[in-house]
């Protein structure tokens, strides 16, 4: 059954996702390079930016400290879209006119599989040691399982060690803890942008650590081989720029597979970035939280933990968790792997503030050790469902003539709506975001990812077909009303998709396949 799914999914994937001549697979940049004319070396001023959350939020509360007031503003700001969403959530039966959430990066395709696994008898274990204070690094038997799990899935050349593992309640906590123990207040990490925007608050809320954005660019320039490509040159410019501004940069954050771009770094790229960090004695935090969500089987994922030689192992710290790859963000489970015992112990010291329930630690150990279920049931099915959902959404985007970055991993598509902005500003981007929300579809706009070009949006596709369909109908409705800029007046967008009918499955074919993968409901809206 599983293998049939796999085959069908591959067929679907090939028919819907196979790159067109203008599509941007990770290795197609060279062609594009020669195709477009605006290849200029970046001006340093374009290439980096310095985040300053305190400047953004200045409203003081009479009962809070200065930092408390800023911390509160983070919640107020985050709630803007969510408040509307939570008050008027889409529900097939109870609120069919409610808001569809294409914003939050969650995998909603596999609750059935996870619920069923987590409800099995072996999960319901109770013993006094689980009810008592744990070791704040995590129970040893869990760290053993994490080390085994990561050794296997990251293809580690030698078995990873449980002593190098710390488990806490989610990857957000790991960012917070690492920022605090690696940086003093006001110090900074480099991070390529666009990036998963919540990291700003994870390192700032408690840590008062700032981010220096290494701005990536949709233009394919002399330095790049693909849009939004991270190069060492950009890292160097940003680092030097920050230094000139008196900012003490202590490390580099890499997300791989990247969120929101979906990029998977090649072994060579990784090596280059890590060598750059080593040269400058920078710590590297590598967030591999989507490592098992590489749904396209033609893609190769290279974990840092699977490298034959990590350039500076004492300054290399890898984050993984179950939120994305197992679609259980509500479980709050994140793991750090670092050979640096000072870092591990300092993070563990903060562990008393990031503890996980003992019975949940037990369940996570049971889950991670169940290699049969993960390999033979879960991953294959999850990837098939992701492929099918991705195929559906990208086909819709093609039909709407919306350019997007084609990806093989993650739950998101990075879409280019610049032609719908009458003026090239973030105010206009926000205004478009608001119109989507008015039409009951929540997206995240580029500003949330510190993208330097207004007009980009991240669309989450890891959802059931009836919600994808309804959401796309609403997006279509908004965009149909928008005056479009003539293509010629836009900065050239090299990865605009040329939709060719013979490249995509017919609507009915696609629907049938989606039905098979359990993505469709019996009565799609």
Per CB under 8 A, which of residues 259..318 are in contact with its own copies?
283, 314-315
359 binds its own copies (CB under 8 A): yes
Which lies closer to its own copies via its Cβ, residue 20 or residue 104? 104
346 binds its own copies (CB under 8 A): yes
Which lies closer to its own copies via its Cβ, residue 173 or residue 259? 173
CA 412, 418, 424, 427 dihedral sign is negative
Rounded Cα distance between 336 and 355, Å, is: 14
181 binds its own copies (CB under 8 A): yes
> Smallest distance from the beta carbon of 156 to its own copies, in angstroms?
22
342 binds its own copies (CB under 8 A): yes
Q: Which of 27, 40, 66, 484 binds its own copies (CB under 8 A)?
A: 66
523 binds its own copies (CB under 8 A): no
Which lies closer to its own copies via its Cβ, residue 169 or residue 469? 169
Which lies closer to its own copies via its Cβ, residue 55 or residue 126? 126
Question: Which residues in the 103-122 window bind its own copies by CB under 8 A?
Answer: 104, 106, 108, 111, 114-115, 118-119
| Number of Cβ atoms within 10 Å of the Cβ of 413 | 23
Which lies closer to its own copies via its Cβ, residue 123 or residue 492? 123
> Smallest distance from the beta carbon of 40 to its own copies, in angstroms?
38
Q: Which of 13, 173, 256, 493 binds its own copies (CB under 8 A)?
A: 173
Rounded Cα distance between 60 and 478, Å, is: 37
Rounded Cα distance between 196 and 448, Å, is: 8
The stretch among 230-238, 329-337, 367-375, 376-384 that binds its own copies (CB under 8 A) is: 329-337
Kind and range of the H or E element at 80?
Answer: helix 66-87
132 binds its own copies (CB under 8 A): yes
CA 515, 519, 523, 525 dihedral sign is negative
127 binds its own copies (CB under 8 A): yes
Nearest to 511 by CA among 12, 91, 100: 12
**Applying CB under 8 A, what is the total number of residues that bind its own copies?**
81
Burial class of residue 490, CB neighbours in 10 A (0-12, 13-18, 19+)? middle
36 binds its own copies (CB under 8 A): no
Question: Which residues in the 85-104 window bind its own copies by CB under 8 A?
Answer: 86, 104
Q: Which of 329, 401, 431, 473 binds its own copies (CB under 8 A)?
A: 329
The string of DSSP letters for 189-255 reads EEEEES--THHHHHHHTTT--EEEEEE--SS--TT-SSTT---HHHHHHHHHHHHHTT--EEEEEEE
> Smallest distance from the beta carbon of 470 to its own copies, in angstroms?
18
> Smallest distance from the beta carbon of 499 to its own copies, in angstroms?
34
Nearest to 333 by CA among 119, 195, 104, 174: 174
The stretch among 210-218, 236-244, 332-340, 452-460 that binds its own copies (CB under 8 A) is: 332-340
The SS3 assignment for 166 reads strand
Within 13 A of 473's CA, how many CA atoms are on the CB side?
A: 11
74 binds its own copies (CB under 8 A): yes
> Smallest distance from the beta carbon of 382 to its own copies, in angstroms?
14
Which lies closer to its own copies via its Cβ, residue 227 or residue 251? 251
Q: Are 325 and 207 in contact (CB under 8 A)?
A: no
Q: Which of 12, 160, 165, 183 binds its own copies (CB under 8 A)?
A: 183
Question: Which residues in the 204-243 window bind its own copies by CB under 8 A?
Answer: 205-207
CB within 8 Å of 390: residues ≥ 6 apart? 17, 295, 407, 413, 461
Give the total residue count for the chain.
525
Q: Is the peptide bond before 410 cis (omega within 30 degrees of 0)?
A: no
Burial class of residue 198, CB neighbours in 10 A (0-12, 13-18, 19+)? middle
Question: Which residues in the 407-426 window bind its own copies by CB under 8 A?
Answer: none
The stretch among 47-55, 256-264, 295-303, 326-334 that binds its own copies (CB under 8 A) is: 326-334
Which lies closer to its own copies via its Cβ, residue 75 or residue 481? 75
CB within 8 Å of 373: residues ≥ 6 apart? 117
The stretch among 155-163, 184-192, 298-306, 403-411 that binds its own copies (CB under 8 A) is: 184-192
Tokens describing residue 330: 């509500």
Tell me the C-alpha to C-alpha distance, in Å, between residue 503 and each of 45, 401, 492, 497: 41, 15, 24, 11
Question: What phi and psi, each to the nearest 5 degrees, are found at residue 350?
Answer: -75, -10
Q: Which of 20, 144, 225, 345 binds its own copies (CB under 8 A)?
A: 345
124 binds its own copies (CB under 8 A): yes
| Number of Cβ atoms within 10 Å of the Cβ of 411 | 28
> Smallest distance from the beta carbon of 402 to its own copies, in angstroms?
27
Question: Which residues in the 421-460 window bind its own copies by CB under 8 A?
Answer: none
373 binds its own copies (CB under 8 A): no
Rounded Cα distance between 246 and 460, Å, is: 38
Q: Which of 4, 45, 64, 498 binds its own copies (CB under 8 A)?
A: 64
> Smallest distance from the beta carbon of 277 to its own copies, in angstroms?
13
Strand partners, 335: 167, 320
Question: Which residues in the 481-520 window bind its own copies by CB under 8 A?
Answer: none
Strand partners, 252: 190, 284
> Smallest distance from the beta carbon of 69 to its own copies, in angstroms?
8
144 binds its own copies (CB under 8 A): no
Which lies closer to its own copies via its Cβ, residue 82 or residue 430? 82
């Amino acid at each position: 059954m599983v293998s049939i799914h796999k085959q069908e999914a591959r067929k679907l994937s090939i028919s819907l996702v196979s790159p067109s001549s203008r599509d941007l697979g990770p290795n197609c940049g060279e062609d594009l390079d020669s195709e477009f004319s605006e290849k200029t070396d970046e001006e340093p001023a374009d290439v980096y930016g310095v985040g300053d959350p305190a400047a953004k939020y200045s409203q003081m509360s009479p009962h809070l400290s200065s930092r408390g007031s800023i911390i509160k503003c983070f919640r107020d700001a985050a709630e803007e879209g969510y408040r509307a969403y939570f008050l008027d959530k889409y529900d097939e039966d109870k609120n069919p006119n409610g808001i569809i959430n294409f914003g939050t990066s969650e995998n909603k395709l596999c609750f059935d599989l996870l619920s069923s696994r987590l409800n099995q008898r072996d999960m319901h274990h109770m013993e006094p040691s689980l009810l008592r204070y744990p070791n704040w690094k995590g129970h040893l038997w869990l760290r053993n399982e994490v080390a085994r799990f990561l050794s296997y899935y990251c293809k580690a050349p030698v078995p990873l060690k449980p002593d190098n593992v710390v488990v806490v309640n989610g990857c957000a906590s790991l960012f917070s803890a690492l920022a605090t123990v690696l940086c003093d207040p006001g110090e900074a990490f480099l991070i390529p942008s666009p990036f998963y925007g919540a990291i700003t608050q994870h390192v700032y809320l408690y840590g008062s650590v700032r981010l220096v954005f290494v701005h990536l660019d949709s233009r394919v320039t002399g330095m790049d081989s693909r849009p939004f490509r991270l190069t060492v040159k950009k890292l160097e410019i940003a680092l030097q720029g920050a230094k000139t501004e008196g900012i003490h940069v202590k490390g580099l954050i890499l997300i791989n597979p990247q969120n929101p771009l979906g990029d998977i770094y090649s072994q060579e790229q990784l090596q280059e970035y890590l060598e750059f960090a080593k040269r400058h004695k920078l710590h590297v935090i590598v967030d591999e939280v989507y490592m098992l969500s590489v749904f396209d089987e033609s893609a190769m994922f290279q974990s840092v933990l699977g490298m034959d030689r990590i350039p500076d192992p004492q300054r290399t710290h890898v984050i993984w968790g179950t939120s994305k790859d197992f679609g259980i963000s509500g479980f709050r489970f994140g793991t750090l792997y670092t050979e640096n015992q000072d870092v591990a112990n300092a993070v563990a010291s903060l562990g008393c503030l990031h503890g996980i329930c003992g019975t949940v630690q037990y369940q996570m150990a049971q889950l991670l050790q169940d290699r049969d279920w993960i390999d033979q049931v879960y991953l294959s099915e999850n990837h098939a469902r992701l492929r099918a959902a991705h195929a559906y959404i990208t086909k819709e985007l093609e039909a709407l003539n919306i350019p997007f970055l084609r990806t093989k991993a993650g739950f998101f598509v990075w879409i280019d709506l610049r032609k719908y902005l009458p003026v090239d500003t973030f105010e206009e981007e926000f205004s478009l975001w608001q119109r989507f929300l008015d039409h009951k579809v929540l997206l995240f706009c580029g500003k949330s990812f510190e993208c330097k070009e207004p007009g980009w949006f991240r669309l989450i596709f890891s959802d059931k077909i009836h919600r994808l369909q309804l959401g796309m109908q609403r997006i279509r409705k908004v965009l149909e009303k928008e005056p479009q800029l003539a293509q010629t007046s836009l900065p050239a967008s090299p990865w605009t998709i040329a939709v060719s009918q013979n490249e995509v499955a017919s609507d009915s074919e696609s629907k049938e396949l989606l039905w098979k993968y359990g993505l469709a409901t019996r009565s799609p809206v």
